[in-house]
Amino acid sequence: MKATKIKTNNSKSKARLVREIYGGEPYRYYPLGKYVVSAPGVCSGRPTFKHTRLEVSVILSLIAQGETVQQVVEEYSASQITPAAVIEAIRLADRALVQSARVLQLAA
């Protein structure tokens, strides 16, 4: 499916809401990466893989349980996620964990 982007500029916020028409339907999201987004109308805004309802936390749980990136990609082939998307999700989770630790250290 092809997405048609509609540019939105919100200078007050660092996160930029992207508006697209995807599959004939409006799709709004905040990009967290190239493949991972937070779409207010999808899964209550929890991080998902772009153009899916597949939550990043589901995939990270499988990786934590010992599945390989390739196994996860094969298991969720219907969602068309790629190894690059899974790796991006792992990197974003790593960054979030490090950032959380920094915030806790500053608060102490």
Structure confidence by residue, pLDDT tens digits, 2-55: 676 655 544 444 679 999 999 999 999 999 999 999 999 999 999 999 999 999
pTM: 0.82
d(CA 59, CA 98): 20
Residue 70 sits in a domain whose CATH number is: 1.10.10.10
CA 42 to chain centre: 11
Q: What six digits make up the tokens of 72? A: 């996860």
Kindly state the average pLDDT of the residues 52-62.
Answer: 98
pLDDT at 74 over 70: yes
Domain that holds residue 54: 3-107
Q: What angle do CA 86, 59, 71 make, to 5 degrees?
A: 70
pLDDT 10s digits, 78-102: 999 999 999 999 999 999 999 888 8
Task: Determine whether 48 is exposed, middle or buried from the number of CB atoms within 10 Å of its CB (0-12, 13-18, 19+).
Answer: buried
Number of domains in the chain: 1
